[in-house]
Amino acid sequence: MAHFQGVVWGPPFGKNVFLRSTHPEPTTESYTFGSASMPTITIGTEVTKVLQPGTVLASITSGPDNGKIGVYQAGATDGRQTAANIVGLNYTFLPWQLNERDVEVSAIYICVAKLAKCFEYDAAGAPIALTAAVADAMRNTRNLDCMFV
């Protein structure tokens, strides 16, 4: 009988499902995500960068990644902390790619999403549930029309 040992698997994680419906198809725009702006998380014993769908994205307006986007984060100093710079919700699942390079992502700017499944980042770089203030900033503005249920 075969016996396998020595493989240590980390805890499972997967793609966040945050849209209420995919009909009609959400309206997206392509951007370059600045990998240096992505906070790290620990999964099991691995420290890595994971960008989940449903994460609020904002423009980077200063520093070496100027012109790219990153996660909306309170306490950031490169423009990502400003609600007026929000471009939408991330639609692209990146489970490891940001560890190595900048990546093209799709940002949804018109959709109906589940509020409890959307995220922003706090000043310490940890993902937190989307706050009411940020959700309000994404509703019916000139560049965004994200509704939350």
Q: Dump pLDDT digits (tens) for 102-117.
A: 999 999 999 999 999 9
In the chain, the number of structural domains is 1
Flag the least confident range among 12-26, 48-62, 126-140: 12-26
Looking at the domain assignment, is residue 123 inside a domain? yes
54 inside domain: yes
**Contacts with 87 (C-beta within 8 Å, 6 or more apart), sequence order:** 29, 31, 57, 58, 59, 69, 107, 109, 143, 144
State yes or no: pLDDT of 125 exceeds 70. Answer: yes
Q: Is residue 13 part of a domain?
A: no
**19/148 Cα distance (integer angstroms):** 9
pTM above 0.85, yes or no: yes
Which two structure tokens, joined as six digits, stand for 121? 């980042």
Domain assignment present for 106: yes
Half-sphere CA count of 97, side-chain side, radius 13 A: 12
Structural domain span for residue 107: 27-148
Q: Where do runs of H (alpha helix) occur along the chain? A: 132-137
Which two three-digit tokens encode residue 123? 């000043």
